[in-house]
Chain A
Amino acid sequence: MVIEDYEVAIVGAGHAGCEAALACARLGLKTIVFTVSVNSIAMMPCNPNIGGSSKGHLVREIDALGGEMGKNIDKTFIQSKMLNSSKGPAVHSLRAQADKEDYSREMRKVLENQDNLTIKQAEVTELIINDGVVGGVKVNTGIEYLTKAVVLCTGVYLKARCLCGEAITYTGPNGLQSANYLSESLKKAGIVLQRFKTGTPARIDKRSIDFSKMEPQYGDRRVVPFSFSTDPESVQKEQVPCFLTYTNEETHNIIKSNLDRSPIYAGVIEGTGPRYCPSIEDKVVKFSDKPRHQVFLEPEGLNTNEWYVDGMSSSLPEDVQVKMYRSVPGLENAHIVRNAYAIEYDCIKAKQLKPSLEFKKINGLFSGGQFNGSSGYEEAAAQGLVAGINAAMYVLNREPMIIDRSEGYIGVLIDDLVTKDSFEPYRMMTSRAEYRLLLRQDNADIRLRHKGFEVGLISKEQIDYLNYKEEMINSEIERLKSIKVGASKKTSEFLISVGSTPLSTGASLEELIRRPELSYEKISQIDPDRPVLNDDIIEQINIEIKYRGYIDREERQVSQFKKLENRLIPDGIDFKSIHGIRIEAQQKLTDFKPVSVGQAARIQGISPADIQVLLIYLKTRAQSMNGNKEEDDE
């Protein structure tokens, strides 16, 4: 049977698939999303939280573009914290503990009620491709869905294999059915796959945990929502604590004496695991000088007794796991509900993708999420959103939406994925962003809402507020610059009263705000005529004024960066024919096919001299083509 009712097919309904499906449907396309189990839509198979350092930025950006993740966690969080709040604004990051079941259910509701969107429980087994153009998918029952675009968001399900010591099961996470056929079809289509691994710790029955031996970790008193559309008052609710405990020498001895039974150390696992998310075995072996490691106990939800043991992911056999977890203070009687395990899966080398997340070789085929070699819910959702938007742009015959490295963490994430060879699942970090001071979580709306509006996922009302907000920020900063205060007695007394030093000559209000000990709010007394402004606007005013020097510096760098990004490399250039580029570099360029000189410069093994030569080559090419045109005109 052949079904032709849909324009876009999304394969997978995890965090990437949900965003991709919603984006396409909201942009008016008839969309179908396939999942091996409707019950596992937006499932969180690992950690029970959303956000965290740099990941919180991603969620903010997803929201600014019109994605769903931020709104969904705002509905379902049970604890929330702004990390690094004592540090600079660039590294503030929101992290919320989720009620996993709630999160999944709420997201499923959104999908189920989305116009133009159909959910289908089925395993996609084959891609339909005609002459380098995607034509749809075939499912395990043999039915073909003919669509104009396909977005692959298969997560960790392709040929998944779970390992718990010697016990190996050929399933996806939580015993869910894996997808065992699609890999072959992808290979047939010329897509290069690789094998990655990741892991998750045990879940423990709350009734068997002695919390009195652990330190409670509370959320923030005042919660900041993820979504720019969430009313901040609506998220001020009762929160639950997490708990901190530590491993000890005994734990480490148990692990060391059983290393030969770890599939990783015994060589059973072939996939490459992430260094930033090491198993407890890895930590004990690689950081043998550390006498203890932190362990966070986190609730999986309000309606379950399962607790997640953050810090102790493992693939050791069950009997070792029991001993290991029980050696930790507070877990002496721990009952393991679900064992820790490692999971291996097929994913692609993402350099096969364009920055739009479309395959270079197959038109209309897009992909996002762990399938692209990333890790984490937020990274997945961000790519899913971009892949979904661009699949829609493709079907609608519009230009793709590209976010570059200077515009968002999403840009950094995708550029790193498609430009660099990766040998482990890619996780976002703030240190990966070169323009970190510009790419703050607080200004994601200012950075990206306009793009979301252009695409069509942001409403008129939302963009109107953003325009008002930007206008108010600018006009208020101008006003603060223009108002001078003298070194009067009254001013001096005020400054001393707020712990600052008196003025010797006059200064503008802006100059006062720049002082570390002062802020917009703190000087209200000597600025009686100020307008009434929302908190988000005041926050931007403070940051803009206090960090202006650094921000200017990065903005200058960005303008340099943009120049190289804007030097596009036309299709069909034979890099091997460019005289003066080293052979190694010629091969790399041929291999990667960078879209711009900027991207070419970021490929490992390309030297500045190669780029110089490339620029000259592009110029001669442009000149000779212009020359030819002129001749043609004559």
Chain B
Amino acid sequence: MRLWPRIFFVNEEIMDTDTIAAIATALSPSGIGIVRISGSEAVDIADKIFRNKNGDRVGVDNFDSHTIHYGFIYDGSDVIDEVLLMIMLGPRSYTAEDTIEINCHGGPFVLKKVLDAVIKNGARLAEPGEFTKRAFMNGRLDLTEAESVMDLIASQNDFARKNSLKTLRGSVYKIIHEMRESILHETAFIEAALDDPEHYSLNEYPEVLKEKVAVLKEKVDALIDNSISGKLMAEGITTAIVGKPNAGKSSILNMLLGEEKAIVTDIAGTTRDAVEASLKIGDIILNVVDTAGIRDTDDVVESIGVDRAKQIANDAELLLYVIDSSVPLDENDDEIIDMIHGRNTIVILNKSDLKPLVDENAIRNMLECPVILTSALDETGVEELQNVIIDMFFDGSISHNDEVYITSQRQVEALRKVSSSLDLVMNSIDLGMSEDLFSIDLMDAYDSLGSIIGEDTNDDLADKIFSDFCMGK
């Protein structure tokens, strides 16, 4: 029956006391988008992630209201995007709260990363219609608009709930449901023992719990890791094209681009992670990550070498390994093959119009991944490549764990909360804190998991105590 985290969470949302953020423009592969932050911590949060071109913090809190500033958004020490930051202090803003708008240029993938950085630094993802609702509650909107705001909240919440459930595959639901049950069972045991200490003993239980929590945390972290593949249906798959110089990497990219008339976003120079191009295959967005060489000549790649490719490959979720099939494999290929082993890879045997010197089946056996023959010259194989990518995505192989998808950022955010709550439990155990304190973080984790699968906490704990443990006189 414990309601505490839920009440807390709901209150924050309802009473407009926390700082919220969202992408304020429609997500499209176009270059420009705005991340909006509103609330008392908006300025502080912006200050933590905004730097000048020298990478120094400039003190967003010193900016005058209604001014625009050029700079960069950082996630830790990494640059994410080159941006314009606009500051509007309350009450002279849409929501009448302190508001920051970050104009980004890097396309949907970068936009999400900026939002991610904002959330990591203390904002909460806004609920549907929440900016408008705040504007209204703070007296910024006319009374006549109230009804439409109410409609908006009602319908969008409904939609969001249905939608978020729909996007959860059965297996994810099952995993989360099982984790919740397990957390609830442990909490119920603690509570049963506290309620009836003469029946249930907690001696040596903390060590047992710690092991269980560690297992749970591993699962949660795996879900977070795997969520990337799911969320990329909307946000794109980080894709790297690797291969030896002259294998034809740039021509493969051009081929893909040419076919799909995708928009190339030119944000060169901002970061080594910068997206060279976003292209759409069916519903899937590929964010092809910049390898400096693709833009210039293959010669430049040589100077950067395999080390560079390794870095990129580590960050990428999909690797396109381009091999010039007219040249035999050499030790450089061995190194690349070592590096990409076990990762989501599609091997492209390019220049299939020439006499093959590389054995297609040998590659297939060695890497256990799809192999496609292409010829940039006669533009063959592009369609097959696209189909393979779509297949890989939909059958779930672009994911470290079969078919576990967490699709929305909201869900990922909830999972992160779960993970940190579980950390707190383990921390409390290590510090030798009393068992009654474990319950607090366990139930926080329980509630966050519930928010993913749309299950509320109500009398769950009391029910669980009574159903799992024999209580009382």
Contacts and interface: CB of A to CB of B under 8 A. Distances in A.
Interface of A: 47, 53-54, 83-84, 86-88, 90-91, 201, 217, 244, 274-278, 283, 286-287, 290, 293-294, 296, 310-311, 313, 416, 420, 429-437, 516, 550, 557, 560-561, 563-564, 578-582, 597, 601-602, 604, 607-609, 611-613, 615-617, 619-620, 623-624
Interface string B409-429: 000000000000000000000
Contacts of B266: none
Given A276-B471, A286-B470, A608 B3 contact: no
Contacts of B199: 294
Given A201-B473, A560-B15, A580-B153, A608 B10 contact: yes
A447 B172 CA distance: 45
A579 B195 CA distance: 44
B195 A431 contact: yes
Give 7 closest A-B pairs by Cβ, nearest first: A434-B4, A88-B434, A580-B150, A609-B157, A275-B466, A560-B11, A431-B191
B48 to A, nearest CB: 21
A296 B199 CA distance: 11
B36 to A, nearest CB: 19
Interface stretch (B58-66, B242-250, B340-348, B435-443): B435-443
B154 A604 contact: no
A435 B436 CA distance: 12
Interface string B441-473: 000000000000000001101100111001111
A561 B7 contact: yes
B136 interface: yes
Task: Report which residue of B11, B17, B435, B461 has the largest number of chain A beta carbons within 10 angstroms of its beta carbon.
Answer: B11
B302 interface: no
Contacts of B465: 276, 429, 431
A99 to B, nearest CB: 19
A601 B195 contact: no
A601 B15 CA distance: 12
Nearest to A309: B473
A612 B11 contact: no
Nearest to B10: A608
Contact of B194 (A91, A278, A290, A604): A91
Given A87-B434, A283-B470, A623-B143, A616 B150 contact: yes
Given A431-B195, A582-B154, A616 B149 contact: yes
A91 B436 contact: yes
Contacts of B472: 274, 276-278
Contacts of B329: none
Given A53-B194, A275-B466, A612-B153, 18 more contacts: A47-B473, A84-B436, A87-B194, A87-B435, A276-B466, A278-B472, A429-B195, A431-B439, A433-B2, A434-B3, A435-B4, A550-B440, A557-B7, A561-B8, A581-B154, A608-B13, A608-B157, A609-B157
A550 B467 CA distance: 29
9 contacts: A83-B198, A278-B472, A290-B470, A613-B150, A613-B153, A615-B137, A616-B149, A619-B136, A620-B143
B194 A84 contact: yes
A611 B198 contact: no
Nearest to A619: B137
A521 B431 CA distance: 21
B146 interface: yes
B14 A608 contact: yes
B197 interface: yes
Given A53-B196, A563-B15, A516 B431 contact: yes
B199 to A, nearest CB: 6
A482 to B, nearest CB: 26
Given A54-B195, A431-B195, A431-B462, A313 B473 contact: yes
A560 B17 contact: yes
B315 interface: no
A516 B432 contact: yes
A557 B14 contact: no
A607 B435 CA distance: 32
Nearest to A90: B436
Nearest to A422: B459
B45 to A, nearest CB: 18
Contacts, number: 165
A559 to B, nearest CB: 9
A495 B158 CA distance: 60
Interface residues of B, number: 54
Nearest to A53: B195
Contact of A560 (B12, B157, B432): B12
B470 A287 contact: yes
A544 B197 CA distance: 25
A148 to B, nearest CB: 36
B433 A88 contact: yes
B377 interface: no
A283 B146 CA distance: 55
B151 interface: yes
A91 B197 CA distance: 10
Contact of A296 (B13, B198, B202): B198
A431 B461 contact: yes
B51 interface: no
Interface string B242-274: 000000000000000000000000000000000
A510 B461 CA distance: 36
B458 to A, nearest CB: 6
A579 B148 CA distance: 10
Contacts of A276: 465-466, 471-472
A433 B143 CA distance: 39
B150 A601 contact: no
Contacts of A286: 470
B147 interface: yes
A429 B462 contact: yes
A197 to B, nearest CB: 15
Contact of A609 (B154, B434, B435, B467): B154
Contact of A616 (B3, B17, B136, B466): B136
A179 B466 CA distance: 32
Given A90-B436, A609-B154, A604 B458 contact: yes
Nearest to B437: A88
Contacts of A287: 470
A436 B436 contact: yes
Contacts of B153: 580, 609, 612-613, 616
Contacts of A581: 154
Contacts of B194: 53, 84, 87, 91, 430-431
B133 interface: yes
Nearest to B130: A612
A299 B399 CA distance: 65
Contacts of B12: 560
B166 to A, nearest CB: 18
B1 interface: yes
Contact of A601 (B1, B7, B197, B433): B7
A199 to B, nearest CB: 9
A88 B143 CA distance: 51
A606 B229 CA distance: 34
A127 to B, nearest CB: 32
A275 to B, nearest CB: 4
A601 B470 contact: no
Contact of B10 (A86, A310, A601): A601
A431 B473 contact: no
A581 B157 CA distance: 11
A487 to B, nearest CB: 23
B157 A607 contact: yes
Given A431-B439, A563-B11, A557 B196 contact: no
A416 B436 contact: no
Contacts of A244: 198
Given A416-B1, A616-B150, A557 B191 contact: no
A612 B3 contact: no
A564 B2 contact: no
Contact of B1 (A86, A201, A431, A611): A431
A597 B14 CA distance: 10
Contact of A311 (B11, B150, B473): B473
